[in-house]
Amino acid sequence: MMTYNQFKQSHGARILRRGTLKALEYALLIGLSYYILSPLLLKIATSFMAESDLLDSLVVYIPKELTLWNYRRAAEFLNYWESLRNTALISLAAGLLQMLVCSFVGYGLAKFKFKGRGIVIAVVFFSIITPPLTYQPSMYLKFRYFDVFGIIEAVTGSSVNLLDSLWPLLILSVTGFAFKNGLYIFMMMQFFRGFPEELEEAAYVDGYGVFRTFFRIILPNSVPMLITVFTFAFAWQWTDTFYTSMFFSRIKTLSNMLSRGFEGMNVEGHAMALAAGQPLTIALGGTYSLMVIFPLVIVYVFTQRFLTQGIERSGIVG
């Protein structure tokens, strides 16, 4: 017979303990996942239903006849493929630019002492705090009659209308004033402040300049942070309505299309066009939002994979 103390230290007990912990972990993760996914589950279920199933109160989750009709009609009516291409391009450009610019600015704030640094940090904070809503009208006018300190008007005689082009977004991204860029700058600043300085000093000793050090040494060692900033910038540009509705009235994007919705769509077998709040309208809207979410999740999984590889490749500081 084993005493309790002997049992506690035995191999079997250790396995048991670890197994219980793992089981608890999985139970928690699965429970939370169900919570997160539950609003989507119904959407996924209804997206495969025919209209007869939507009206049938006996059908909740499992459709009687599986159909891709919703996907086909939603893609067709709201120009899915064209919008997807546009959105992907815009988000990619915004994501990459914001990632680079914000880490650049964040590095400057973290590693260089200069007069006025405190003020710049304060401005970063202010830009995090101000809700975008408060500057919407001014921002719109700014890009409708775009000018750099009156120079353009002096040269060409009039200001430029930059609406319905990629320029407003690119300009905002390059200057670190696009959606939530203050947060990214702050994130990168905090990260670089915790970055050991030996690495940079070693690079300087090797004759690297500041910029070369930044691009060749610092950035490759900041992959997890960079990827996270990129993910945020990409995902929020993907689902953004604030800038897209302000800047792109003719460029078709996924969020523009989804906010247009399915009202007024003509369906065969219906005398009248679809109205808001009808089961079919909701089902189509849900289907389209799934079609918006799904590519994003794939991109995220892809970047996570890239991330784990990136760490192995670059070798981490310590």
Partner 1 sequence: MSKNQKKKSVSLSAKKARLGWVFVSPFVIGFFLFYLVVIVESIQYSFMEVETLPEGGFITHFVGWSNYEYMTRTLTTFMSGLWATVRDMLYSLPILLLFSLFVAVVLNQKLKGRALFRAIFFVPVILSTGIIAKSDAANNVVSAFATMNTGEMTTVAEEASAAFSINGLMYYIEDMFSFAPWLLEFIETAATNVYEVINQSGVQILIFLAGLQSISPSLYEAAKMEGCSSWESFWKITLPMISPMILVNIIYSIVDCFTRYDNNVMNSIQSMITLTDYGHASAAAWIYFCAIALLVLIIFGIASRFVFYQGKER
Query: How many residues make contact with partner 1 (CB under 8 A)?
Result: 106
Name which of 69 and 240 has its Cβ closer to partner 1.
240
Minimal distance, residue 255 CB to partner 1, in Å: 4
Sorted by sequence, the CB contacts under 8 Å of residue 143 that are 6+ apart come out as 161, 162, 163, 167, 168, 247
Does 280 contact partner 1 by CB under 8 A? no
First to last CA, the chain: 48
Q: Choose which of 82, 212, 301, 306 interacts with partner 1 (CB under 8 A).
A: 301
Q: Which of 309, 311, 281, 282 is nearest to 220 (CA)?
A: 311
Name which of 49 and 124 has its Cβ closer to partner 1.
124
The tokens for 89 are 């391009």
Q: HEC profile for 49-116?
A: ECHHHHHCCCCCCCCCCECCHHHHHHHHHCCHHHHHHHHHHHHHHHHHHHHHHHHHHHHHHHHCCCCC
- Side-chain-side CA neighbours of 269 within 13 Å: the count stands at 3
Minimal distance, residue 309 CB to partner 1, in Å: 12
The tokens for 35 are 């919570």
CB count in 10 Å sphere of residue 234: 23
Name which of 50 and 233 has its Cβ closer to partner 1.
233
Per-residue mark of binding to partner 1, 83-122 (x: CB under 8 A): ------------------x--xx-xxxxxxxxxxx--x--
Instruction: Identify which range of 1-9, 65-73, 138-146, 150-158 contacts partner 1 by CB under 8 A.
Output: 138-146
Cβ atoms of 220 and 285 closer than 8 Å: no
Minimal distance, residue 66 CB to partner 1, in Å: 20
Considering only residues 49 through 78, tell me which ones interact with partner 1, judged by CB under 8 A: none
Minimal distance, residue 179 CB to partner 1, in Å: 9
Name which of 160 and 282 has its Cβ closer to partner 1.
282
Q: Choose which of 1, 38, 151, 207 interacts with partner 1 (CB under 8 A).
A: 38
Distance of alpha carbon 176 from alpha carbon 260, whole angstroms: 29
Minimal distance, residue 54 CB to partner 1, in Å: 12
Name which of 67 and 210 has its Cβ closer to partner 1.
210
Does 247 contact partner 1 by CB under 8 A? no
Name which of 22 and 72 has its Cβ closer to partner 1.
22
Bridge partner residues of 49 (DSSP): 66
Quick one: residue 260, left, alpha or beta (phi over 0 = left, psi -120 to 50 = alpha)? Answer: alpha
Considering only residues 179 through 238, tell me which ones interact with partner 1, judged by CB under 8 A: 183, 185-187, 190-197, 210, 222, 224-225, 227-228, 231-232, 235-236, 238
Please provide the size of the chain in residues.
Answer: 318
Does 317 contact partner 1 by CB under 8 A? yes
Does 306 contact partner 1 by CB under 8 A? no
Q: Choose which of 241, 249, 309, 314 interacts with partner 1 (CB under 8 A).
A: 241
